[in-house]
Structure 1
Amino acid sequence: MLNSYVIRRALSDGKYRKIFVERLSEPLHLNLIALGVALFGSYRAKVAFDLMVRQQYAFPILFAAEEAKKRGLSRITVLEFGVAAGAGLLNMCDLARRTEAATGIAIDVVGFDTGAGMPPAIDYRDMPEYFQEGDFPMDFEALRRALPGRCRLVIGDAETTIPAFLASVTDEAPIGFVSVDVDYYSSAVKVLTVLDGRPEQYLPLVPVYLDDVSMDGANPWNGELLAVSEFNADHPLRKIAPFNVLRSKRVFKNAGWIDRMFAAHIHDHPARTPATAKRAQQAYIPNEYLR
């Protein structure tokens, strides 16, 4: 249901575009159904109808939890790179709590940030026309006090914090979702090393949200898209690609977050190898034309 925070957020920072351009351009009957879902629907239904704040977190966290459940896991880990003031991280914690209640899968949240705002840009690849040194500082103590017990805040350069973090990730609580909101190409290159661990430290498919790919100046030769391209070139068995046919699977097709949702495919994961992926029963397609 609507609360004061949702209303304030909808009317600030250009979020009204999501209402008047993305949402109200959808079919009327779907918006009417969404009103009923907002009032009476389950958490899964609200995620399906894009009724959660930061749907770009709600969808992949629920997706990861459901995939973990299929694989007999009881816990996953979700990550946010680029915490800044921390509103997104706190929202991620709330969505993790609600997803945990809906699925029974425990969810640990980890946020990564330098804690000192944006570093200097290296060159055009960091898109300095959009970002500059000192942007997005953090009030560390205030944020630390606000974070729930399920969340850990890691402060420092990703180049040094990620190896130590990966050493702590267990096969019993694999990484299920990664949000990359670090703005710069140079920062994204460092952040994507979080996908360099052992295959068992991940779900076979890990949703990856790339926040900074929607500006007019973003392209495959700068920013996060360039970092992804280089990652793919350097990793024969780990590939990041747009989340496959996601738009056609969504109730509402015009949501901008869909274009920013990618997936890391862990092709060397045991679940994606012939020996362990084999099913107990053979697949069969009946032919209704044969008697």
Structure 2
Amino acid sequence: MLQSYALRRALTDGKYRKIFVERLTEPLHLNILSAGVALFGSYPAKVAFDLVVRQQYAYPILFAAQSAKKLGIQRIVVLEFGVATGAGLLNMCELAARTEAATGVLIDVVGFDTGSGMPPAVDHRDLPEYFQEGDYPMDFEALRRSLPPRCRLIIGDVAETIPGYLESVRPDAPIGFVSVDVDYYSSTVRTLPVLDGEPEQYLPIVPVYLDDVGMDGCNPWNGELLAVAEFNEARPLRKIAPFNLLRSKRIFKNAQWIDRMYAAHIHDHPTRTPATAKRAQRAYISNEYLR
């Protein structure tokens, strides 16, 4: 069923053009290897070869689960801001289930949305040439009936719903990934305080997917990039930056999602604090130039 959905998605909505640009421009031997991975590979291998629908969710959810496992954390939560019709949220639930099976780390999913489509744009910073009031409405009841038990949908203005949600986040089930797909600068400003909780409520590095940074009109003075810049300026110990060297770490390097993947660094997290950070002593490094 999942394979048939992936095929339908590839052949509709202009996705075939994206596949041509991102995939068929990659080395031939990698695409040949992909066929074997698609048939026989493990779920982490499929993620590594970009063979999963919405790789921009698959990679960070797997990264978060693997990070949690290294820290001995058995449960995490992943968040989507900007649910609209819910296709992404339901896909996130599917990927959470597959990641859970592969890593043993339990994964809860929470979606945030106003439920009524987009509000009016504030000014040019909201990119009104691309988005406008009423875009992306939700059929709440239809979506609610489709949600699996692992998923929770929170409806309302995020400025009002985030504080109450953060009160429910436990250190033994921290936030591991945040997808920001709220389009406007003003909405992103209201969303990013989800990263203002206590340090133990997060993994030390939280992947952050910024969906709306790819239009030609986007720049550091509008949209999500401006909201991130203001977030970073206001918070000395919480910084959002492009995911470090991610493109060089990927097998397939032409995918657009790589440019939209950021990371929230929780610099006040206990594992990043000298007094509490613990790791094994590094071994002596040999030097072949010494006699």
- State if a TM-score over 0.5 links the two structures: yes
Provide, for residues 71-122 of structure 1, a one-character-per-residue CA deviation record: whole Å limited to 9, x for no partner: 0000000000000000000000000000000000000000000000000000
In 2: Cα distance, 1:231 partner to 1:17 partner: 35
Equivalent position SS for 2:275: helix
**Deviation per residue, 1:136-176 (Å, 9 max, x gap):** 00000010010100000000000000000000000000000
How far 1:217 moved relative to its partner? 0.2
Give the Cα separation in 2 of the matches to 1:230 and 1:11.
39
The equivalent residue for 1:67 is: 67
Letter in 2 for 1:112: F
List aligned pairs for 1:92-171, cutoff 5 A: 92-171=92-171
Give the 3-state SS of the residue equivalent to 1:18 in structure 2: helix
Alignment partner, residue 36 of structure 1:
36
Structure 1 stretch displaced more, 263-272 or 9-18: 9-18
Give how far 1:281 is off: 1.9
Task: In structure 1, give the amino acid aligned to 2:101.
Answer: A
Give the aligned residue type for 1:68. A
Correspondence list, 1:237-252, <5 A: 237-252=237-252
Name 2:3's counterpart in structure 1: 3
Distance in structure 1 (CA, Å) of the matches to 2:154 and 2:272: 31
Secondary structure at the counterpart of residue 110 of structure 2 = strand
Question: Equivalents in 2 of 1:28, 1:71: separation in Å?
Answer: 38
- 1:2–1:80 Cα change, 3 Å: closer
Distance of 2:116 and 2:215 partners within structure 1: 24
Output aligned runs, 1:181-260, within 5 Å.
181-260=181-260
Shift of 1:278: 3.7
- Aligned amino acid, residue 49 of structure 1: F
- SS of the residue corresponding to residue 79 of structure 2 reads strand
Give 4+ residue runs of structure 1 displaced > 3 Å after superposition. 288-291
Q: What is the CA–CA distance in structure 2 between the aligned matches of 1:184 and 1:42, rounded to whole Å?
A: 37
Worse-matched range after superposition: 17-26 or 230-239: 17-26
1:48 positional shift: 0.1
**Unaligned residue ranges in structure 2 (runs of 5+):** none
Q: Which amino acid aligns with 2:58?
A: A
CA distance in 2, matches of 1:205, 1:284: 28
CA distance in 1 between partners of 2:274 and 2:234 (Å): 24
With structure 2 as the length reference, what TM-score do the two structures score?
A: 0.98
CA RMSD of superposed structures (Å): 1.1
Could you list the per-position Cα deviations for residues 214-253 of structure 1 after superposition, in whole angstroms to 9, with x for gaps in the alignment? 0000001000000000000000000000000000000000
SS in 1 for 2:276: helix
Supply the distance in 1 between the matched residues of 2:11 and 2:282 (Cα, whole angstroms): 53
The offset of 1:2, in angstroms, is 6.9
Shift, 1:3, TM fit: 2.7
* Aligned match of 1:173: 173
SS at match of 1:112: strand
* TM superposition shift of 1:189: 0.3
Write the letter of the residue equivalent to 2:201: Q
**Structure 2 counterpart SS, 1:76:** strand
| Offset at residue 17 of structure 1 (A) | 2.4
Question: TM-score, with normalisation over the residues of structure 1?
Answer: 0.98
Q: Distance in 2 between matches of 1:184 and 1:13?
A: 23
Cα deviation per residue 1:41-73 (whole Å; 9 max; x = unaligned)? 000000000000000000000000000000000
d(CA) in 2 for partners of 1:183, 1:67: 29
TM-superposed deviation, 1:283: 4.1
Tell me the SS of whatever aligns to 1:3.
Answer: helix
1:157-211 per-position Cα deviation (integer Å, ceiling 9, x unaligned): 0000000000000000000000000000000001000000000000000000000
- Displacement of 1:19 in angstroms is 1.2
